[in-house]
Amino acid sequence: MEELFQKIPDQPLKQPEEETLVPESELKAVRELLQSLLKTKRAFEMYPANNPILAKFQDDICRRFDDFFGDADKLPLLIRQQEILYKGQSVYKNTEKDENLALLFYKDGLRELTFLEGFSHEELMDFIEVIRAKPDLLSENWDDDIVTLLWEKDFAHLRYYVVEEFSDGEALSEEEVQRLLSGESSDDLSEAYKDADEGEAKEIFSPLESISMGFKGVFSLGEEEVKTLKDEIEGLTDEKFLDEAIYCLFESLFMEKGSQDFELVAGSLESALSYLVHTGGFRTASNILKRFRELSGGGEGLSQHEAERLKTAITRAGSESRAKIIAEVLNSGREINIDDFREYLGHLDRASIIPLSNLMGEVQDIKYRKALIDALVSLGKDNIEVLAAGLKSGQWYIVRNVAAILGRIGDKKALEYLKQAVKHPEPKVRREVVRALGMVGGPKAGEILLEVLDDTDPQIRMAALRYLPQAQNYSVLDVLVEVITRPDFEERALSEKRVFLEVLAEIGQEKVMPFMIKLLKKKNFLFGNSKNEEMRVSAAYGLGNIRHKDSLRALESVSSHAKKGSALYEAVSYSVHKLAGPDGVGQEA
């Protein structure tokens, strides 16, 4: 089957925008249905489950869906960034970012949503549960998109088309990994990490106290003079003075290089830094870290010992104990400027990778967690082996978060580490590892994804299948065919069989077309009656991914014999519509 592995370029599929005239009453019904859906979503977010106001919104949206399907068999919606179309006509438009139903779907890659007749009230409530903003999402599924949640629900009467984009992108010894996780000292990094916690000051002084202490040491001020200085400076605007005073203190630090007072001034600055973190003053704290980096980077005339002293201060700014303080500040409810927090994180060194990874399991607000993720992506790009040490953690949510970040980085060096976590006992971890493998991509990722096809969780197996086309590894075809022809394959759910056949067709294209057509047309092939029908349905969906005129002809030949309303009829109609459209092969046929 060597010729099967030739790459055929992928082409996006788009639902045609129909130009037929749609009655205004029908458009109005869809518009009002979408508005009711949005209102019900908000109600889910605002009221407890037993609230009568929520119940009223639930009844309204259920009634609107029932009324619509009284006259129609499906509700097809085309998703744009700021607009939703129904049969080519606009039924929802919002140019704002907040409460934008179109953008909510669009940002996660959804381009089509089709609700089918039979969409039950239970499915409707599950769908609203997927799209609502859930506070409990923060502790369990920190970055799950809508598509992932839709996969998990496995709706029987909902279809959707997704556009997904993926980017292609010296290891530590086992002993070093364990030491990093346990906090024991081994190499320079873990020594710095340990010293960072042990060297932290036991007392935390306010910035004004720290500055006064620093000036007292440098200029030999008396107690009375220090008191006078403090009285004067506390009469000034604290933030404005603080910036100017810290600038002066750094000037003093530079002037005192080579003297014993250097340590005193550095300690005063670090004490101020610690206080600022305690109080959420990340703007000024990040300015201190930035200047520490500049001075310790060389070219400022500092001795090696003095430069190392400032580097130690930077390491302590991202230590485990400091990370716990940051978590307390971020969870306190006070308003923290997110840009200032991001800048603070941007000045930390690689010793902060593991503490920041642990921090993600404690921070409650998603915007702060996203800032942590971005910081870890930036730090981890050049320190894959340090970041990957988190995959050895005994806390599953840390392993999950690290896997997600490795996927975001997209470096193929991460594949060997991700492979070690593919059999993790926690399903949430395995699912995130699969996603990370898909984001890294490449033939090696495809080989690892094949190992997941025997996972005990069918949702994880299907997730692995969906990422296989991006792996660009055409040797997977033999494995897919082998799994499909196993005797026990018939016991799998129809949804999983469909994904297997769709992926096989998408990768193999023309070379697997005869196999797919045979499955579609030959009754009692491999399995019994009901199981054979499910295989035919799955093959029909799969042929819709083979952009060839013979695939379309095979589907059309079956369409005339399929019972209208049956699963086979729906599958054939769906694939014919896909292939006969402007992006299919209709013109060739």
In whole angstroms, give the CA distance from residue 428 to residue 424.
9
Tokens encoding 97: 């970012």
Tokens encoding 484: 């499909």
In whole angstroms, give the CA distance from residue 41 to residue 49.
12
In whole angstroms, give the CA distance from residue 426 to residue 43.
33
- State the DSSP string of 341-352: HHHHHHT--GGG
- Give residue 437's pLDDT: 94
Which residues lie below 8 Å from residue 319, measured CB to CB, with a gap of 6+? 193, 196, 197, 200, 351, 352, 355
Enumerate the H helices of 88-202 as residue ranges.
101-106, 121-131, 137-140, 146-153, 174-182, 188-198
261, 291, 310, 580 from 249: Cα distances, Å: 12, 11, 14, 73
pLDDT in tens, the chain (589 residues): 333 333 333 333 344 444 558 899 999 999 999 999 998 988 887 777 877 778 888 999 999 999 999 989 999 999 999 999 999 999 999 888 777 899 888 888 899 999 999 999 999 999 999 998 644 433 344 455 788 888 888 899 999 888 754 333 344 455 554 554 454 444 444 444 444 444 554 445 555 555 554 444 444 445 554 455 445 444 444 566 677 778 777 877 877 888 888 888 888 888 888 888 988 999 999 999 999 998 888 767 889 999 999 999 999 999 999 999 999 999 998 889 999 999 999 999 999 998 998 888 788 898 998 999 899 999 999 999 999 988 988 889 889 989 999 999 999 999 999 999 999 999 999 999 999 999 998 989 999 999 999 899 999 999 999 999 877 777 888 899 899 988 888 889 999 999 999 999 999 999 999 999 998 987 654 444 677 889 999 999 999 999 999 999 999 998 888 888 889 999 999 999 989 877 666 544 4
Can you tell me whether residue 241 is helix, strand or coil? helix
Tokens encoding 436: 């990370």
- Give residue 430's pLDDT: 95
145, 377, 395 from 404: Cα distances, Å: 13, 10, 15
Query: In 10 A of CB 188, how many CB atoms?
Result: 9
Closest C-alpha to 283, from 359, 235, 334, 345: 345
**Cβ contact 353:387 at 8 Å:** yes
| Structural domains present in the chain | 24-162 (no CATH), 188-348 (no CATH), 474-580 (1.25.10)
Tokens encoding 106: 């669009």
In whole angstroms, give the CA distance from residue 214 to residue 514.
81
**Cβ contact 532:525 at 8 Å:** yes
- Give residue 319's pLDDT: 92
Alpha-carbon Rg for the chain in angstroms: 30
